[in-house]
Structure 1
Amino acid sequence: MYPNLLVKRASLTPNRSAIIFEGRRWTFSQLKQEAIDFAEKLHMLGINKGMRIAILASSNPQLVTVLHGCMQLGCELVMLNERLTEEELLYQLNDSQPDVLLVDGLNRSLMYVNRLSFDEIIAAPNKPIKIDSEWSKDRTITIMYTSGTTGNPKGVRQTLENHVMSATGSALNLGVHPNDCWLCAMPLFHISGFSILMRSVLYGMTVSLHTKFNAEKATEEILNGTVTRMSVVAVTLERIISVLEERNLAIPDTFQSMLVGGGPVPLNYLERAIARNIPVLQTYGMTETSSQTTTLSSEDAIRKLGSAGKPLFFADIRISGEKEKGEICIKGPHVTKGYVGAASSKNPQVDGWLHTGDIGYIDDEGYLYVVDRRSDLIISGGENIYPAEVEQAIVKHKAVKEAGVTGIKDDTWGQVPIAFVVLKGQVTEEELKSFMKTQLATYKQPVGYYFIDELPRNASNKILRRKLHEYL
């Protein structure tokens, strides 16, 4: 058993700032009261302990209250990505089968059988609930969807133990200081954003919350000493570096660390970051590991440039295969025990190890280097794009027989997807682009379409996506 995280934190440091947002502050005591108030209103509306709640909302203090309120009520949270199309969202809802869908005040067209808006809940009267002082470590806190190599998104269960051990491992690596403030511009529906909320209540740390990333605003907060840490992906790191270069400024020593995830960081970015005194720490993790598994410590940042570091205290890694480079495998209490819905029968661990499908190697000092994020995976601005998912969407068009998708380098996003299409009818590139706008989120849509006679395949009739580059 673990203590009720928010209640425990509010009792320890009630007057410490929990959230900062657009000039307003919420203490941990205020956050606890607002969360319990929201939980009591949900209870009045028939939501009870153990129910599964899907949430579709933008990152702001209200969402933080909603998330903590649902946790106080003892519910599982299905975190929906607001960037997805209606079709993608409906797949996740049908797969996870939540008891209710909660949406924020924005105009959300997505409809569900049992749907409630935040405003409806806030307007409801309260019905007192018993607040548990302890939580089971095996309790599912969140369910987040991540695509598999088949293209079908899987709902990953993240337990209380997963979140707590992930945050604890990070704390043992980075250290915890009373004046820490984490700038969170990552969406809260991602593990990268949600994990910051978990660290906040465990560490007693302030979160400076941003609804969206803005390089100018983020840089200004860092320069004025308001924040001490931040999580970014390669493309957002580069934008902060560019702002500093334009102003010919460097980061003050008050800023402790900038954790970079979402794929390997170009060496050029790291060198430019060092020139601006940005303490960049590369990390490696995934949804199935509740955020970080390895992180480069600050003292090794320059000596091991390009490395994702060593495993956090409670984590272990190994490379599968006989060669120097192979599949990265992960073990530890931060690793998910399973999935929901269609993938619920799939065991994510083999003999206690999570086989990631990512390729890397470990040097003679035990530092991990990530070579590739799955052979066919496209990483665009920190977002994972799985070719099979895009291909399945393209072939829904009546004029398309087959499709193959791969990534090409892009100066802004790192990579962007392109598609090779075998037709069975008449269709133009513009018509396909228009069709795909209804099928997938914008970042997943191919930037170009190439019409070919046949796709390259192996003896097993599998598409050889790496061969598609040769067609260019």
Structure 2
Amino acid sequence: MVNLTVPQLLGDRARTDPGGVALIVHGSEPLTYGRWHERSTALANGLVARGVTGGDRVGLVFGAADWTDYAVAFCGVLAAGAAAVPLSDRLAPADLRLMLDDCGASGIVHAAGLALPGTGPGIGWTATVDGLGAGAYAETSYETADPPVPELGDLAQILYTSGTTGRPKGVAATHANLTHGCGARRRPFAHSEHLVHAFPIGTNAGQTMLINALDAHPAVVTLPRFTPGRFAALIESYRAGTVFLVPAMAIELINAGVADRHDLSSVLLLGSAAAPLPSAVARSLTEVFPRATITNYYTSTEAAPAQTIMMFDPDRPGSVGRAVAGGRVRVATAEGEPLPPGETGEVWMRSPAAPRAYYGDPDSATFRDGWVRMGDLGYLDDEGYLHLVDRESDVVKSGAHKVSTLHVEEAVHHHPAVIEAAAFGVPHPVLGTVITVALATREPLAPQELRVFLKDHLAPHELPAHVVAVDALPRNSGGKVDKRALRRAVENAR
């Protein structure tokens, strides 16, 4: 296996294919490997001139329209020997400040024209990509530059979790973790000339697409703002063979009827990540993308690059697949003791790559002997397929029963009027907690009508006590439903 740091990965690609297109933000000039390396090297020299040294943390604040500059900044920070801290430009000022303070960022590289409210005296400097590269680029090229060379075990990235269940935590990854499996002779997704995605900067899925731009065969294509029509037009225009999205985007594509207006037959692989993909949604995707294999990827920011992959199988509608590429998955007790097939317990994953850790908290109970506690409950079937029961924090204890919100959501999605739905618990004076379902629908759906439909799919204690209609489910920047926001809204309305 080839072992490369991120700057070495880019340098090798720039030397062997300088004119090859790595990244395209639709409507902007494509970024070639040669140009990417040149600009990143210039930025690295600019950072060193500002006093950035090995081990420093540098915040990167960019939006979806700025993927090209972000890619340059990310590789430039790593080439300077520092660690990149990817942050979305859509963060609330208080959250931005919290993350920068938590990692002790020495400075910020940001998108041109972006105001940075919430930063303060602890941040030594702020700069744009062009500002850092000015002057240095004229004297530097990828053939002659000799920036500091980080080691495989050096800290490369701190990525903050979504914080849907509590305070966001910074997950630290080394170069060895980020580039695990990269540099092989056969490049990933070789069936495609273009890979289209709409993952945001500052998410684990977005970072995976950045590494794909460095290592995979196809050019990685994205767009400044996702809408179903724009995304479908992008796929059609580039005849993309590979597409990645989150379930919320899949639901929007289906509901917008994009297959009636766009030729999506070029897609051979459609991958869904970041949240469970309901089987009803997966089944509808097979109609929108008639030649595509619909695939669900299950991992976490903490566990990456370990993952399970599941090609949609109607006979296993609730499974997220089996571990791949040398990774492992097990279901165990809270103490880490493995459980037999069919028995529900905590889901743990193990990566063949160098493990990740929480920045500033390397001894967290989430990480144990190379295994990562996923925060989910599930079970393995006799063939090793993983089935999720629920997020540990989302299980609803109603009376004497424990109710899986994932199971309830899966059942609700089968109603033809439902576009999207989320189940969660709210307080009850007798049962302690009862199930509430928030849903967006194509047409009016009375709560009692939904309950009658669900009687064939759910046990009596799983039926929702409350049904709330919403225009759309609240989601965080990574596309995950914000159940805390839903719970507060319902409780405040009662």
Q: Structure 1 residue 162 and structure 2 residue 177: aligned?
A: yes
Q: Distance in 2 between matches of 1:375 and 1:97?
A: 30
Q: Structure 1 residue 240 and structure 2 residue 253: aligned?
A: yes
Residue 344 of structure 2 corresponds to which residue in structure 1?
A: 325
Q: Distance in 1 between matches of 2:41 and 2:331?
A: 45
Give the CA deviation at 1:107: 2.4
Q: Which amino acid aligns with 2:124?
A: N
Alignment gaps of 5+ in structure 1: 388-403, 413-440, 453-471
Give the CA deviation at 1:111: 2.1
Do the aligned residues in 2 keep the contact of 1:103 with 1:115 (CA within 8 Å)? Answer: no
Q: Distance in 2 between matches of 1:291 and 1:145?
A: 16
Q: Distance in 1 between matches of 2:434 and 2:239?
A: 43
Q: Distance in 1 between matches of 2:38 and 2:160?
A: 30
Residue 15 of structure 1 corresponds to which residue in structure 2?
A: 19
Q: Distance in 2 between matches of 1:147 and 1:219?
A: 27
Give the CA deviation at 1:33: 0.9
Closer, same or farther: CA 40–367 of 1 in aligned 2, 3 Å: same
Question: Cα deviations across residues 21-42 of structure 1 (Å, max 9, x unaligned)?
Answer: 2342121111111111222222
Residue 261 of structure 1 corresponds to which residue in structure 2?
A: 273
Closer, same or farther: CA 158–216 of 1 in aligned 2, 3 Å: same
Do the aligned residues in 1 keep the contact of 2:19 with 2:34 (CA within 8 Å)? Answer: yes
Superposition map of 1:148-297 within 5 A: 151-165=166-180, 175-177=188-190, 179-244=192-257, 247=260, 251-252=264-265, 254-276=266-288, 277=290, 278-290=292-304, 293-297=307-311
**What is the SS of the residue equivalent to 1:80?**
strand
**What is the SS of the residue equivalent to 1:161?**
helix
Residue number among 364, 373, 376 corresponding to 1:358 in the alignment:
376
Give the CA deviation at 1:6: 0.3
Do the aligned residues in 2 keep the contact of 1:290 with 1:335 (CA within 8 Å)? Answer: no
Question: Cα deviations across residues 427-448 of structure 1 (Å, max 9, x unaligned)?
Answer: xxxxxxxxxxxxxx99664462
Superposition map of 1:36-185 within 5 A: 36-59=41-64, 60=66, 61-105=68-112, 106-112=114-120, 113-118=123-128, 121-122=131-132, 124-126=134-136, 130-131=146-147, 135-146=150-161, 151-165=166-180, 175-177=188-190, 179-185=192-198
Q: Distance in 1 between matches of 2:248 and 2:239?
A: 23
Percent identity between the two aligned chains: 21
Do the aligned residues in 1 keep the contact of 2:43 with 2:129 (CA within 8 Å)? Answer: no
**What is the SS of the residue equivalent to 2:299?**
strand
Do the aligned residues in 1 keep the contact of 2:43 with 2:133 (CA within 8 Å)? Answer: no
Closer, same or farther: CA 330–155 of 1 in aligned 2, 3 Å: same
Q: Which amino acid aligns with 1:232?
A: L
Q: Which amino acid aligns with 1:137?
A: L
Do the aligned residues in 2 keep the contact of 1:139 with 1:160 (CA within 8 Å)? Answer: yes
Residue 456 of structure 1 corresponds to which residue in structure 2?
A: none
Q: Distance in 2 between matches of 1:186 and 1:215?
A: 14
Do the aligned residues in 2 keep the contact of 1:336 with 1:348 (CA within 8 Å)? Answer: no
Residue number among 1, 4, 15 corresponding to 1:2 in the alignment:
4
RMSD: 3.5
Q: Distance in 2 between matches of 1:167 and 1:98?
A: 28
Closer, same or farther: CA 283–81 of 1 in aligned 2, 3 Å: same
Q: Distance in 2 between matches of 1:318 and 1:199?
A: 27
Q: Distance in 1 between matches of 2:234 and 2:19?
A: 22
Give the CA deviation at 1:16: 1.4
Q: Structure 1 residue 35 and structure 2 residue 34: aligned?
A: no
**What is the SS of the residue equivalent to 1:18?**
strand
Q: Which amino acid aligns with 2:16?
A: L
Q: Which amino acid aligns with 1:448?
A: A
Alignment gaps of 5+ in structure 2: 334-338, 396-404, 410-421, 425-432, 442-479
**What is the SS of the residue equivalent to 1:194?**
helix
Q: Which amino acid aligns with 2:304?
A: S
Closer, same or farther: CA 268–124 of 1 in aligned 2, 3 Å: same
Do the aligned residues in 2 keep the contact of 1:54 with 1:77 (CA within 8 Å)? Answer: yes
Q: Distance in 1 between matches of 2:267 and 2:13?
A: 24
Superposition map of 1:432-447 within 5 A: 445-446=485-486
Question: Cα deviations across residues 397-432 of structure 1 (Å, max 9, x unaligned)?
Answer: xxxxxxx999743338xxxxxxxxxxxxxxxxxxxx
Question: Cα deviations across residues 266-325 of structure 1 (Å, max 9, x unaligned)?
Answer: 22211111122143201101101235601124xx64554442221111200011144622
Do the aligned residues in 2 keep the contact of 1:181 with 1:228 (CA within 8 Å)? Answer: yes
Question: Cα deviations across residues 356-409 of structure 1 (Å, max 9, x unaligned)?
Answer: 1201222222222222233328999xxxx9x9xxxxxxxxxxxxxxxx999743
Do the aligned residues in 1 keep the contact of 2:73 with 2:129 (CA within 8 Å)? Answer: no
Residue 489 of structure 2 corresponds to which residue in structure 1?
A: 448
Give the stretch that moved more between structures: 96-105 or 223-232: 223-232
Closer, same or farther: CA 405–35 of 1 in aligned 2, 3 Å: farther
Q: Distance in 1 between matches of 2:389 and 2:183?
A: 27
Residue number among 367, 376, 379 corresponding to 2:394 in the alignment:
376
Residue number among 319, 343, 367 corresponding to 1:307 in the alignment:
319
Give the CA deviation at 1:256: 2.1
Question: Cα deviations across residues 108-147 of structure 1 (Å, max 9, x unaligned)?
Answer: 2232332313067347432876235x65322222101126
Do the aligned residues in 2 keep the contact of 1:307 with 1:369 (CA within 8 Å)? Answer: yes
Question: Cα deviations across residues 55-100 of structure 1 (Å, max 9, x unaligned)?
Answer: 1111321111111111221210112233321112221112110111
Q: How high is the TM-score relative to the length of structure 2?
A: 0.71
